[in-house]
Structure 1
Amino acid sequence: MDISVNTESQKLLTAHRGIPSQAPENTLSGIRLAAQLGARWIELDTQLSKDRTPVVMHDETLDRTTSGSGLLREKTLDELRMLDTGEWYKPEYSGELFPVLEEVLEECKKLDLTLNLELKLYPACDPAALVERVIELIQENEFPLEKLLLSSFSRDALIRCRELMPQLRRGFISEEADFGLNGVLKEIDPYSIHLDHRVLTPEIARDIKGAGTVLAIWTMNEPEKAESFFNMGVDNIITDMIDQF
């Protein structure tokens, strides 16, 4: 299969964590609604439970988006599945189960979504362990690689991805303008660079595109600014409000 870089701007949009402006983030309901509203790319976060099951959630702790509390990594899958991940958002989402990555992969296949899966790593987490378990699931699920991108702030995680499954697309995320492009290109050989839209300049965009790398920005929620970013060379805008673009 051909999953090579296309350096021509395709003006793509990615639904960030689903569509958190209308549904609880990182949930199956959010994925379905984003697809219903026209999303073709979706960005979600994955971490490991205490018993090494890849689950889908952004935060290090459970307090903000679930009925539980404490560190996610200290909970088993059975404990996580007892939590409600929707009622905090709106009563009509009460009963939303904590999603596991396996379910998300199946849902993305069913909805024909391209998945930007962020490997979410906090200081006490093991990058290699997360990468290994995620890749195991991808292979078991036979998820189409042309519909998948693994992204992360963690260079160690993306280097491990490259070692284990070099044909899998990798995206390096940074909130800093001076992230060391040459080092990232050498160590990770990324498909894409994902920058905080607030630090992007025409010069940085030119350097990234000149390296033959896809350029994405996050998290940009102002539709009136989209065209200026696309004109700068951005290929993909990651947004909470895909329905507004």
Structure 2
Amino acid sequence: MPAPLFALPPARMKTLAPWPYPRLAAHRGGGRLAPENTLAAMRTGLAHGFRMAEYDVKLSHDDVPVLLHDDTLDRTTDGRGPAAERTHGELARLDAGSWHSAPYAGEPIPTLRAVARYTQANQIASNVEIKPCPGREAVTGARVTQAVRELWHGAATPPLISSFSEAALAESARVAPELPRALLLEGPLPGDWLARLARHDCIALHMDQRHVDAEVARQVREAGYRLGAWTVNDLARADALRAWQTDLIFTDELALIRPD
């Protein structure tokens, strides 16, 4: 058996937090089947039976939370340059669908408000990934979290908020400590992972699926944390992660890897 990745006395183990989320989440809303981070993507995920969507949120220049993954507009829109330099009005006029395929030409960049309305109306759980532009980590964490708190006020299932940015997570915990959070990690499990989760009062750890195995899954769970794995596009790999009791699996292959 591999050497333990941590050693904690039983008194320091957390109790697993309640987990109201489905096992599978559609990555960026619709995986490969629709332009990412759009309302069209949310509709596609729902049409394939997915009851949870993961999507990326950052701020426009005038601090409106919008769905967009990259720091620049070049890959997924007909715009160019840094997204942080455009107001919401300017972003709303861009075509965020043609890069994917002709049927989606003219699909706009949606606001978080629009996606909140759609997902709640259709009983879709959300993983809101805070994706700040460079230098805007703290303000993005605070403003996106405040928007989540307002837009999902009274919802039976609040969004799971996640980020690679610990500055954003710190602000998220300050603004809305009651909302569930997950720390996103690249690479293998680091030695200080438990301290980092505790620092931001997270309930879950989201890891690159390539660095998850049965032992990692066991140790994360036994420490009292939920485990997510991204991005899983192979059916056999998804089945293995399910067998290891991975709590949340993100996939682009919506037609191949089906909800339980």
Whole-angstrom distance in 2 between the partners of 1:105 and 1:11: 18
SS state at 1:62 partner: coil
2:62 is matched with 51
**Which of 115, 137, 159 is residue 127 of structure 1 equivalent to?**
137
SS state at 1:146 partner: coil
SS state at 1:18 partner: coil
2:203 is matched with 191
**Which of 231, 235, 242 is residue 219 of structure 1 equivalent to?**
231
Q: Tell me if structure 2 keeps the 8 A contact 1:15–1:240.
A: yes
Shift of 1:89: 1.0
Q: Tell me if structure 1 keeps the 8 A contact 2:149–2:176.
A: no
Shift of 1:136: 2.8
2:76 is matched with 65
Shift of 1:127: 2.0
Shift of 1:11: 7.1
Whole-angstrom distance in 2 between the partners of 1:76 and 1:20: 27
SS state at 2:236 partner: helix
- Structure 2: runs of 5+ lacking an equivalent: 1-15
**Which of 38, 43, 46 is residue 49 of structure 2 equivalent to?**
38
Shift of 1:71: 0.5
Q: Tell me if structure 1 keeps the 8 A contact 2:96–2:108.
A: yes
2:87 is matched with 76
SS state at 2:216 partner: helix
Q: What does 1:88-99 correspond to in 2, within 5 Å? A: 88-99=99-110
Shift of 1:189: 2.0
2:177 is matched with 166
- Structure 1: runs of 5+ lacking an equivalent: none
Whole-angstrom distance in 2 between the partners of 1:62 and 1:82: 12
**Which of 89, 94, 97 is residue 86 of structure 1 equivalent to?**
97
SS state at 1:112 partner: coil
2:32 is matched with 21
Q: What does 1:119-158 correspond to in 2, within 5 Å? A: 119-122=130-133, 124-143=134-153, 144=155, 146-158=157-169
Shift of 1:225: 1.9
- Asked if 1:240 is matched to 2:255, the reply is no
Shift of 1:93: 0.7
Q: Output the aligned Cα RMSD.
A: 1.9
Shift of 1:200: 1.2
Q: Tell me if structure 1 keeps the 8 A contact 2:148–2:159.
A: no
Whole-angstrom distance in 1 between the partners of 2:22 and 2:233: 15
Identical residues among aligned pairs (%): 34
Which whole-Å deviations, capped at 9, do the CAs of 1:168-222 have from their partners, x for residues lacking one? Answer: 0001100121332221232012111100000112222122111111111000000
Q: Tell me if structure 1 keeps the 8 A contact 2:158–2:179.
A: no
SS state at 2:249 partner: strand
Whole-angstrom distance in 2 between the partners of 1:41 and 1:178: 25
Shift of 1:7: 7.2
Q: Tell me if structure 2 keeps the 8 A contact 1:14–1:43.
A: yes
Q: Tell me if structure 2 keeps the 8 A contact 1:85–1:95.
A: yes
Q: How many residues align?
A: 240
Whole-angstrom distance in 1 between the partners of 2:99 and 2:221: 41
Whole-angstrom distance in 1 between the partners of 2:47 and 2:19: 28
SS state at 1:67 partner: coil
Whole-angstrom distance in 2 between the partners of 1:170 and 1:145: 16
